[in-house]
Homo-oligomer: A and B are copies of this chain.
Amino acid sequence: MPRPRSFSETDIAAAALAVIDHDGLAALSMRAVAVRLGLGTMSLYRYVSDREQLEGLVVDLVLSAVDTTPPPDLPWNEQLTVLVERARDAVAAHPQVVPLTLTHRHTSASVLRWAEAVLGVLTAAGFTGDRRAVALRCLLGHLIGSIQMDHLGPLSGAGTEAMARLSPEAHPLLAETAHGAREIGAGDEFRGGLHILLLGLRASLDEAAEAGPEVTNR
């Protein structure tokens, strides 16, 4: 084994993440990452076969930070709240990475770990079969949707501006809502939505019990 590798995959990912955090997602390029590692552009290809794979490493680094052990001694809905919020926080720590997270989500082992943990809580709560799959999908959907809305919607400014400009009479309710929404933080909206979702999940569980145990697996 001649010439040991100078960098680990984590080193590469950290360098790319540093580029993104420092100069924005648009500045992420093979050249920029190579420079940050003190490497020639093409040397980076000794570690990564592709820009695609580089992006995957970044996403995995960001998502590896989420703790997927469910908090004990809590009812299932609060356990789910904690798990979902942890995932949200991990992504929120690197706003610029959001678009990459959405694209590379399915290739990351960290996401699978998280999903497994959520499924564990759901199972313990009594969810099975398709109902459990839908519940997971629902939670993940809310998570992804919220991340999207927080970091590509109002944050980019264009959204709020466009809304404020077009709204006056054509969209009275929207204008009122947008105005009121300025008071309420993105985090509160996220938690409020999650609360509603969990109310729905509980109701869904009741529906299943009511229909009789023999069709619980629907």
* 0/1 interface trace, chain A 165-198, chain B, CB 8 Å (1 if under): 0110011111001001101100001001101111
**In the assembly, how many copies of this chain are there?**
2
Within 8 A of B (CB), among A123-159: 123, 129-138, 140-146, 148-149, 152-153, 156, 158-159
A106 at the interface (CB under 8 A from B): yes
Could you tell me which residues of chain A, from 82 to 112, have a CB within 8 Å of some CB in chain B?
99, 102-103, 105-107, 109, 112
Given the interface pairs A192-B130, A200-B203, A204-B199, the reply to whether A177 lies near B112 with Cβ below 8 Å is no
Q: Which of B138, B148, B177, B197 contacts A148 (CB 8 A)?
A: B148
> Are A112's CB and B174's CB within 8 A?
yes
Quote the shortest CB–CB distance from A200 to chain B (angstroms). 3
**Interface flag for A211 (CB, 8 Å):** no
Name the contact of A197 in the complex, choosing from B174, B181, B197 (C-beta under 8 A). B197
Q: Chain B contacts of A37 at CB under 8 A?
A: none
When chains A and B are docked, how far (Å) is the Cα of A57 from the Cα of B11? 40
At the interface, is chain A mostly helix, strand, loop or mixed? helix
A129 contact set on B, CB distance < 8 A: 180
A201 on interface, CB distance cutoff 8 Å = yes
Minimum CB–CB distance for A134 against chain B, Å = 4
CB proximity of A69 to chain B, nearest CB, Å: 15
| CB nearest neighbor in B for A196 | B200
Which of under 10, 10 to 19, 20 to 34, or 35 or more describes the interface residues of A? 35 or more
Quick check: A141 and B146 within 8 Å, CB to CB? yes
Quick check: which of A2-10, A28-36, A43-51, A114-122 contacts chain B, the rest being far away? A114-122
Is A15 an interface position by the 8 A CB rule?
A: no
Task: State how many angstroms separate the Cβ of A112 from the closest Cβ of chain B.
Answer: 5
Q: How far is the CA of A180 from the CA of B27 in the complex (A)?
A: 41
The 9 A-B residue pairs with the shortest CB-CB distance, nearest first, are A200-B200, A141-B145, A106-B159, A145-B145, A119-B173, A134-B192, A199-B203, A138-B193, A196-B200
